[in-house]
Chain A
Amino acid sequence: MTTNRPDNTTHPPQTDQTPSIPTANDGSTATSRSTPASTINANARGNKTIVNSNTSTDSPAHDSTAAEASSDAKTDEMLLTVENLKTVFDTDDGTVHAVDGIDFTVQRGETVCIVGESGSGKTVTSESITQLFKSPPGSIADGSVVFDGIDLASRTEDELTDIRGARISHIFQNPQGALNPVYTVGWQLIEAIQLHRNVDDDAAREDAVDLLNRVGIPEASSRLDDYPHELSGGMKQRVMIAMALACQPDLLIADEPTTALDVTIQAQILTLLRELQADFGMSIVFITHDLGVVAEIADRVVVMYAGKVMERGSVYDVFESPSHPYTKALLECLPGRGSLGGIPGSLPDPTAPPTGCRFADRCPYAVEECTVGEQPVFESVGGEARDEDIEHEVSCVHYRSAADPSVLDQLDADRSSVPQERPSGRTVGTRDGEGGVARE
């Protein structure tokens, strides 16, 4: 998978995939590609008024028809808008702030990868969309998850049950445990079909065979009567995908679907997901810590650390010009690139998140300003965007309009001249960019 790393501009990783995304059966996706970047940016930054008008389309509050039309257009483009989402878990050791105010968007037909190390809140984020986490102790403390004009965060359990599996599907990391051992594959597949679609047993069975065929399971009709323990891990993951597709969802949430599989099967599953995305025109939220996988499938990348988004942008921007020190460090950890030692230090205590930037403690570029206040607000990275539809933003003080991000490169140069020096916390960085020339 490392062969596909987008470290070579002449061969972007998406060349084989990008044309497949705006499919014929979803015209809005195609138009979204040509929408001016400024419109998208307004959404990506989380424009509250747009969300409100979407959730109350039946209210006559809108006096401007033009505004309503434009907000409707944006609803079409944005399948999922997550704003200031906070998911907490009440434990004996205190409240765990697993996801602590994150924002990201998913357009129709696109693939969004959420990356970060273990414990950064990726899985909780994915489970917060339809509130799959165990509750109690888990709960959404704040924020909104607007899916196709519906705020899922404020919906009742019954309403969410109707959406789960029908419009938003999940596949999970470990196919070995994700299928119920006491029911046949067919039973579980037919259950998924009949939960949301009013079809009789025979029709559901036919659909189940079709689905298994579609995900590449040979002899589908006889496999239907197999129990999960009679299938290999890759086959089980295909069954999981078939179940997720049973009702042709708009959004597929894949939580590390290839992590538990061996490399050849990983590649097959990724190829399958890409084909299915082209066929069904669905959006995919893909959770992974494997940057090689990200390079293969992502349109948009969201880098998470300790429950916060550090950086987000198109896959080209994030890989070609990683801006947040955490993203830089993650990319450094790829085999064949720089150090094999990993990022020194460990995640902050999730029950008592530090002030300032969550990554400051481990950041080689940290300055005093990094440790005070809240996580820095998102700043545009600037420079030449490689995908003009997707804003490249970063949550780092070095990118504030008064700061000079080239200080990072400066420090890099300093570090490489003294290679044995290890970053040792907050004292390493200096802020010589202060009062300097503003960017742009």
Chain B
Amino acid sequence: MATYILRRVAWAVVASLIVLTLTFLLLYFTPDTQLAQLQFQAAQAGDDPEAIGAAYESYHGYDQPIHVQYIEYMGNMLSLDWGWSETRSQPVTTAIAEAIPYSMMYAVPSILISSVLGVAIGLYSATNQYTRGDYAATFFAFFGLSIPDFWFGIVLFVLFSGILGWVPIIFDTTAATFSLENLAQFILPIVVLTLSSIASLMRYSRAEALEYVEAEFVKTAKAKGVGDWRVLTRHIFRPASVPIATILVGDLLGIILVSSYLIEVVFGIPGLGTLSFEAIRDQDTSLVMGTVLLPAFLTIVGNLAQDIAYTILDPRIDYGDS
């Protein structure tokens, strides 16, 4: 098992290196907007654009051979020197570090609520299949899956901020993290994000648990005299948790990373999504790279966690090192 985990970690490192290398190559072949701007200004001022260009490239090390640039780039990445954001006049890592708390303020509650509630409702649906409760949960799930985040967010925003005035319209960054004021401005994003991520978890948990509700070993447990609750938690949920762990990490992460763009822009939250969105809009190359790399690493870490979760949850997986 130790060997297996080490191998998974090694693969995660390899995957990270591939992501970094691809990013480097993309950047290497991308025309530099700043260089173009400098040369344009130089030409307007009557200077030699070529000389300015050469000076710029030599200043940034862009005249070096590709492998030297690559090593330099990788060194910077590993030492968390992710470049300078021109639009924000601060290091990329600082900009990201400032944005992360705002994203977490709605993502963490949303992940917790949707994983706990999603699995719980899914299990309820499975054990009470084709009852009114199951139909209600199914309706809720398909509603959450079908409705676009940004649209639902706008509707809620208009209703509760604009018409009813229950939650603030302008996002206030000065509100303390654990305050009612902060809760009021985060409640709608949490609801929207939870709704979209809970649905797939619910349906998935339901399908997985259903597979085990009918399983022979569940009948064995019942025949042994195991009560309903223990049958559900120990004999159905426990084996079902193996496949559910997949969606919990992988899918949830994906939904939240994608949704964060839409939700943050709609609600004006200065989190990672907004940061990335503005960086792309303003062609701030270093910042775009930083905000794209972070989710990529998160996904790699998530997949690693998922692989390790499998080995802990399912004794049938052969580690190949015994």
A residues in contact (CB < 8 Å) with B: 130, 132, 134, 157-158, 161-166, 169-170, 172, 174, 177-184, 191-192, 195-196, 227, 229, 240, 243, 246
Contact of B224 with A191 in the complex, beta carbons under 8 Å:
yes
**A residues less than 8 Å from B228 (CB atoms):** 157
**B residues less than 8 Å from A170 (CB atoms):** 219-220, 223
Distance of A243 from chain B, by nearest CB (Å): 6
Contact of B239 with A172 in the complex, beta carbons under 8 Å:
no
B residues in contact (CB < 8 Å) with A: 214-217, 219-228, 235, 238-239, 242, 313-316
> Closest B-chain residue to A172, C-beta based?
B216
Contact of B315 with A182 in the complex, beta carbons under 8 Å:
yes
CA A178 to CA B217, docked complex, whole Å: 4
Contact of A195 with B313 in the complex, beta carbons under 8 Å:
no
Q: Which of B214, B219, B224, B314 contacts A182 (CB 8 A)?
A: B314
Contact of A180 with B223 in the complex, beta carbons under 8 Å:
no
Contact of B225 with A195 in the complex, beta carbons under 8 Å:
yes
18 pairs, CB–CB < 8 Å, chain A vs chain B: A132-B219, A158-B227, A161-B227, A165-B226, A166-B225, A170-B223, A172-B216, A172-B220, A174-B216, A178-B219, A179-B220, A181-B314, A181-B316, A182-B316, A184-B315, A195-B224, A195-B226, A229-B315
**A residues less than 8 Å from B215 (CB atoms):** 177
> Closest B-chain residue to A243, C-beta based?
B224
Tally A-B pairs: CB < 8 A.
76
Contact of A161 with B220 in the complex, beta carbons under 8 Å:
no
Q: Which of A134, A178, A184 contacts B220 (CB 8 A)?
A: A178
> Closest A-chain residue to B131, C-beta based?
A136
CA A181 to CA B216, docked complex, whole Å: 11
CA A164 to CA B225, docked complex, whole Å: 5
Distance of B8 from chain A, by nearest CB (Å): 20
Contact of A130 with B223 in the complex, beta carbons under 8 Å:
yes
> Closest B-chain residue to A127, C-beta based?
B219
> Closest B-chain residue to A177, C-beta based?
B216
Additional 7 contacts, C-beta under 8 A, given A164-B223, A191-B224: A172-B216, A177-B215, A180-B238, A182-B315, A191-B226, A192-B225, A196-B225
Contact of A178 with B216 in the complex, beta carbons under 8 Å:
yes
> Closest B-chain residue to A228, C-beta based?
B217
**A residues less than 8 Å from B225 (CB atoms):** 161-166, 192, 195-196
CA A196 to CA B226, docked complex, whole Å: 9
CA A195 to CA B229, docked complex, whole Å: 13
> Closest B-chain residue to A166, C-beta based?
B225
Distance of A286 from chain B, by nearest CB (Å): 15
Contact of B242 with A165 in the complex, beta carbons under 8 Å:
no
Distance of A128 from chain B, by nearest CB (Å): 13
> Closest B-chain residue to A246, C-beta based?
B224
CA A295 to CA B246, docked complex, whole Å: 51
Contact of B219 with A181 in the complex, beta carbons under 8 Å:
no
**Interface core residue of A132, A162, A164, A181 (most chain B CB under 10 Å):** A181
